[in-house]
Chains A and B, each alone.
Chain A
Amino acid sequence: DVKVTQSSRYLVKRTGEKVFLECVQDMDHENMFWYRQDPGLGLRLIYFSYDVKMKEKGDIPEGYSVSREKKERFSLILESASTNQTSMYLCASDASRPGTGFGTFGSGTRLTVV
């Protein structure tokens, strides 16, 4: 089975801290995605990547950056965490042509910024 592993299940950080959320997949997928999930808003795409060192902005990239130095790892970076970034963050990966049905998500990281 494909596994997408997010390094932390729960995280509490202080306002202004630099925060790294890590995601690793073990099936050599080209495509990786970061979403945030908020009540009443569903999942919103933050950033995605189709290849190593390649990144594209999603719908809500402000306040975030990403890094993809290796194919299996896709990191989401909050340069200076703010309370409005308190959310559930979900990583996903896919080998298919983008958008044609990625089926593997991580279990999520619930981030609280205080």
Chain B
Amino acid sequence: AQKVTQAQTEISVVEKEDVTLDCVYETRDTTYYLFWYKQPPSGELVFLIRRNSFDEQNEISGRYSWNFQKSTSSFNFTITASQVVDSAVYFCALSEVSGYQKVTFGTGTKLQVIP
């Protein structure tokens, strides 16, 4: 069975600080996908990134970066120079590739960026 753990329930940072959101996953599959989503107060989930299990290259997109380490089964998300607009709940998710390829979500990390 798949499992995604986001141990940080809530994080508060002051604007312009860097913050890392942790994600640890469990799966028996050798091929899988990992995702991050953002859920702002409006409620709609916004897709941020998808990463194939064979691609361990870190990715940077503006102030966002992701560190995928297969050896520790982690897919951490860092926001550099945080802004108030980054305040949201962030979900990490894992998708199997076989069968019905269901997506398993973590419980989410609520990030509050204080001005």
Chain A positions within 8 Å of B, measured between CB atoms, are 35, 40-45, 48, 56, 58-59, 88, 90, 92, 97-108
Contact at A45–B45, with CB atoms within 8 Å?
no
Interface pair A107/B47, CB less than 8 Å apart: no
Give the interface size class of chain B: 20 to 34
* CB–CB B45/A42 < 8 A: no
Is B91 an interface position by the 8 A CB rule? yes
Partner of A99, one of B44, B96, B107: B96
- For the complex of A and B, the 10 pairs showing the least CB-CB separation, nearest first, are A99-B101, A103-B47, A99-B95, A101-B50, A105-B45, A43-B105, A42-B107, A42-B105, A108-B43, A98-B101
Q: Residue on B with the closest CB to A9?
A: B43
The smallest beta-carbon distance between B53 and chain A, in angstroms, is 12
A48–B95 CA distance with the chains assembled, in angstroms: 14
- Please tell me if the beta carbons of A100 and B107 are within 8 angstroms of each other in the complex: no
Verify A107–B101 contact, CB threshold 8 A: no
* Contact A90:B45 (CB < 8 A) given known A97-B101, A99-B95: yes
- Whether A92 pairs with B95 at a CB distance below 8 angstroms is no
Q: Are A100 and B102 closer than 8 Å at their CB atoms?
A: no
- Bits for B43-76, please: 1 = Cβ < 8 Å to A, else 0: 1111100100000000000000000000000000
Whether B103 contacts A99 by the Cβ 8 Å rule is yes
Contacts of A45 in B (CB 8 A): 102-103
Q: Note all chain A residues with C-beta closer than 8 A to B105.
A: 35, 42-44
Fill in one digit per residue for B104-115: 1 if any A CB lies within 8 Å of its CB, else 0: 011110000000
Most chain A CB atoms below 10 A, which of B6, B43, B97, B105: B43
**Interchain CB contact (< 8 A) of B107 among A40, A58, A88, A106:** A40
